[in-house]
Amino acid sequence: MKVLLSWLQEFAPVDGDPADIGDQLSALGLAVESMSVVGEGLDGIVVARVLEVGPHPDADRIQLVQVDVGDGEALQICCGAFNMSVGDLVPLATLGTVMPDGMEIARRKMRGEWSNGMLCSPTEIAMGDDHDGILLLDGSLEVGRPLAEAMGLASDVLFDLEVNPNRPDAMSVAGVARDLAACQGMPFTLPSPNVAESGIDAAERLSVEILDPVLCGRFVARVLDGITIGSSPAWMANRLTSLGMRPINSVVDVSNYVMLELGQPSHTYDLDMVAGSTFRVRRALPGESLVTLDGVERTLTEADGVVADVDDTAIGIAGVMGGASTEIHDGTSSVALEMAWWDPMSIATSARRLGLRSEASARFEKGADPEVADLAMRRFAELLGEAGASLAPGAVDVRGDTPVRESIRVRTDRVNRILGTDLSRDRIAELLGSIEFANHVVDGDLDVVVPSFRPDSATEIDVIEEVARIHGYGTIERTTPRSTITGSLTQRQLDRRTVRTAMIGMGLDEVMPIPFLAPGDLARAGLKVDGITVTNPLVAEESVMRASLRPGLLATLAYNASHRMSGLGIFEVGHVYRQPDQPQLLPDEREYLAVALAGRDATDAVGVWSALADALAARDYTLVADDPAGLHPTRTARIDVAGVVVGHVGEVDPGVLAAFDVPERVAWLEVDLETLLGLPHGEKPYGSVSRYPSSDIDLAFEVDDDVPAAEVEQRLRGAAGDLLVDLSLFDVFRGAPVGEGRRSLAFTLRFQADDRTLTDSEVSQVREACVDAVEGNLPANLRA
């Protein structure tokens, strides 16, 4: 909502430095998005008439415009805008003019053609937001006169305010003025239009029926006679322009002016064209259609409301747009003026469905003031009276349902307990009174009646907010409560940090791809799951929620590889979303870790896993050869922890890599953190360190290729028993003299007892047991 300071001052003697007023408006919750001084810096800008428009011989983006600046001579201007035609009046910055941005206009050649000034766009002279074309002036202005003088522009301050959806009252100049006056402690007065009434009473000339009282809370109709459609006076056109509305004609402009000023939209009908002079307000019938003011035929549904005539033919869409059949025109003698209160939800639905959101529908949607119509009608007639229109006496005023305004008990103690203030009952009453919240004392408290223009305020807490707002948020004393609990992270949150710390410790960079996928991404990653789809995606590429972190990481590797960054090691910790196995309220959403090591093989991925298992002290895990979809079928293992599958480690299937344009081998690890962190892990019981010497033995076995090293290790552990304190695989060797299809696996075992030094015979006994366990159970022999 834009407001001019001069317009606010018509309601209250508010004053001050514009910057201070801006701060006050912000402190009232009417955030100032921008503030500008208008009507200044126009010295040297004159009204010019376009005489001729022609192409520049040497430039496509510039045209040559001949203008008359009042002396009848043609003056050549080079201009980069193409929106004007011969006869238009335009603002010309004459030679020597210093523009608001400091640029001085001089005579200069543009591609070989002289330009004797500059034609101005609305932004260049602070008269609007449009900077694409030259400002086209009202045709009645006097050519050659200084623009400010010709248009009657005075210096003014324009505030552009951000109005929250709960403040429909502030979508009017009067509403903003009311708040500002309360803030400044100034009296606020609404205008009291002085309109002479003449002619036949409206009640005898039209009738109104509300068939759907929910849709229409109030419908007021009056009659205006003797309207001539012309152009508005300059002051009105200037104000409308400043507030961002284009002047159209005297009737439309008055309608917009009253809406901006008082917040009440209106609609005008050519009364003679309304069959039976009857207005029947009802829901549209499914499939019913009418041609709206813009000449478009629109098919309606029950979601829309209509105003129909005596034949029940729709002549307008309620609160959204009027019909073409009753539009006023030059020959119109009597106008029916409608000011209504429409159900916000109905208008919101209808305007959105029809794609016809307007300044008017925005006000109805947020909740207009059902009681302002009488004043707004008279204001309308007063403004149009200048053009010769006269208001017929009487109004047809029919009511449906409007929000009930009950008195609200506002407890002084409650106000202070919520705000942390020490306001007296009377001070609260005073604050509320300043914004027309009527109240009376009930013991120590107040009974408050909220004014009709504040539909948002309906409960005690709503009123408390108003007290705080007018008292000033900034004046409330700041206190900091001491937390009455102990701050901490949960074990799960600490574990997540451990996971990340382990990953970065291994030199891996954390990435954060967005969790949206394109249809087919999961299949491309070799995954046989259906992601949960987005009902209303912005683009198809972002229409599926990821069921795996794999597509995101592969796309990240592909992106970086295409920018000559190869060999990356990356990881992500994030949620994946899947259809649950059992019906449940929400999808199966779980946190995963995924690691991708470009240019490296499964060995490195296993290394990352074992380091992670160490970091989390995840015990008793086993790797079991596996070929899940999308991973390398002969280089992947399932990770079992305590017998539960927690993920996979290995490499990505080469076919999947090709599908994602990843040019390198990719080692892969994915871990379901939800499952892993739910299993026993973390601190282990302390084991004392033996003070006796240990003995090491090395055992190398020749083992068939299809026997996992883990199986040999398991046999060794089983045979070694309690004396074993450490076991590691230190060498793997293939090739002569080891037989074809076999490899040598060399282990180091360390033995130690807690209570004695082991004897040579004890050690050799255990060694023998280890060798027997492997040779006796597996296709393996000890190497000499």
CB of 565 vs another protein, minimal distance in Å: 5
Q: Name the DSSP class of 80.
A: S
- Applying the rule CB under 8 A, the residues between 338 and 397 that interact with another protein are 344-345, 348, 365-366
Q: Does 546 sit near another protein (CB under 8 A)?
A: no
Q: Does 485 sit near another protein (CB under 8 A)?
A: yes
Torsion angle of the four alpha carbons 198, 201, 202, 205, in this order, in degrees rounded to the nearest 10 = -110
Q: Contact at 8 Å (CB) between 467 and 423?
A: yes
CA 251 – CA 425 distance, rounded (Å): 48
Of 91 and 367, which CB lies nearer to another protein in the complex structure? 367
Binds another protein by CB under 8 A, chosen from 480, 582, 634, 761 = 480
207 closest CA partner among 134, 123, 277: 277
CB of 457 vs another protein, minimal distance in Å: 10
Residue 54: which residues within 8 A CB-CB, separation 6 or more?
A: 63, 64, 65, 66
CA 176 – CA 178 distance, rounded (Å): 5
CA 317 vs. chain centroid, Å, equals: 30
75 closest CA partner among 90, 61, 60: 90
Of 313 and 610, which CB lies nearer to another protein in the complex structure? 610
CB of 500 vs another protein, minimal distance in Å: 6
Binds another protein by CB under 8 A, chosen from 193, 433, 519, 587 = 587
Q: Does 761 sit near another protein (CB under 8 A)?
A: no
341 closest CA partner among 175, 452, 438, 256: 452
Of 166 and 675, which CB lies nearer to another protein in the complex structure? 166
CB of 282 vs another protein, minimal distance in Å: 21
CA 235 – CA 123 distance, rounded (Å): 19
Retrieve residue 660's tokens. 């994602």
Please give the size of the binding site for another protein, defined by CB under 8 A. 85
CB of 165 vs another protein, minimal distance in Å: 6
Of 128 and 367, which CB lies nearer to another protein in the complex structure? 367
Kind of pairing between the strands at 156-162 and 2-4: antiparallel
Sign of CA dihedral 588, 589, 593, 595: positive
Q: Does 508 sit near another protein (CB under 8 A)?
A: yes
Of 296 and 461, which CB lies nearer to another protein in the complex structure? 461
Q: Does 684 sit near another protein (CB under 8 A)?
A: no
CA 132 – CA 122 distance, rounded (Å): 9
Binding track over 599-638 against another protein, x by CB under 8 A: ----------------------------------------
Binds another protein by CB under 8 A, chosen from 16, 55, 505, 678 = 505
> Among all chains, which residue has been given the structure tokens 């003679």?
272
- Applying the rule CB under 8 A, the residues between 637 and 666 that interact with another protein are none
CB of 508 vs another protein, minimal distance in Å: 4
Task: Provide the H-helix boundaries in 548-696.
Answer: 550-562, 602-616, 654-659, 673-676
Of 86 and 534, which CB lies nearer to another protein in the complex structure? 534
- Applying the rule CB under 8 A, the residues between 517 and 536 that interact with another protein are 532-536
CB of 300 vs another protein, minimal distance in Å: 20
Binds another protein by CB under 8 A, chosen from 74, 196, 442, 565 = 565
Binds another protein by CB under 8 A, chosen from 6, 9, 26, 622 = 26
Q: Does 585 sit near another protein (CB under 8 A)?
A: yes
Cα atoms in the Cβ-side hemisphere of radius 13 Å centred on 243:
26
Binds another protein by CB under 8 A, chosen from 560, 610, 622, 777 = 560
Binds another protein by CB under 8 A, chosen from 389, 503, 549, 652 = 503
CA 169 – CA 164 distance, rounded (Å): 10
Of 586 and 736, which CB lies nearer to another protein in the complex structure? 586
Of 164 and 759, which CB lies nearer to another protein in the complex structure? 164
Does residue 52 sit in helix, strand or coil?
strand
Of 459 and 728, which CB lies nearer to another protein in the complex structure? 459
Binds another protein by CB under 8 A, chosen from 537, 633, 663, 718 = 537
Retrieve residue 143's tokens. 């050519």
Q: Does 404 sit near another protein (CB under 8 A)?
A: no
Q: Does 482 sit near another protein (CB under 8 A)?
A: yes
Beta bridge partners of 89: 49, 137
- Cβ-based burial of 475 (10 A; exposed 0-12, middle 13-18, buried ≥19): exposed
Of 23 and 40, which CB lies nearer to another protein in the complex structure? 23
Of 86 and 461, which CB lies nearer to another protein in the complex structure? 461
CA 103 – CA 106 distance, rounded (Å): 9
Q: Which stretch binds another protein (CB under 8 A): 28-36, 259-267, 275-283, 380-388?
A: 28-36
Q: Does 228 sit near another protein (CB under 8 A)?
A: no
Q: How many of the other CB atoms lie within 10 Å of CB of 244?
A: 15
In order of 478, 504, 531, 583, the CA distances from 587 in angstroms are 43, 31, 10, 9
Q: Contact at 8 Å (CB) between 157 and 4?
A: yes
Q: Does 500 sit near another protein (CB under 8 A)?
A: yes
CB of 358 vs another protein, minimal distance in Å: 16
Q: Does 481 sit near another protein (CB under 8 A)?
A: yes
CB of 605 vs another protein, minimal distance in Å: 15
Of 361 and 695, which CB lies nearer to another protein in the complex structure? 361
CA 208 – CA 193 distance, rounded (Å): 25
Residue 141: which residues within 8 A CB-CB, separation 6 or more?
A: 47, 89, 150, 151, 234
- Applying the rule CB under 8 A, the residues between 148 and 187 that interact with another protein are 164-167
> Among all chains, which residue has been given the structure tokens 């007639």?
381
Q: Does 144 sit near another protein (CB under 8 A)?
A: no
Q: Which stretch binds another protein (CB under 8 A): 142-150, 319-327, 564-572, 617-625?
A: 564-572
Prior bond to 187 cis, omega within 30? no
Q: Does 31 sit near another protein (CB under 8 A)?
A: yes
Beta bridge partners of 64: 54, 78
138 closest CA partner among 244, 249, 242: 249
Of 410 and 568, which CB lies nearer to another protein in the complex structure? 568
Q: Does 730 sit near another protein (CB under 8 A)?
A: no
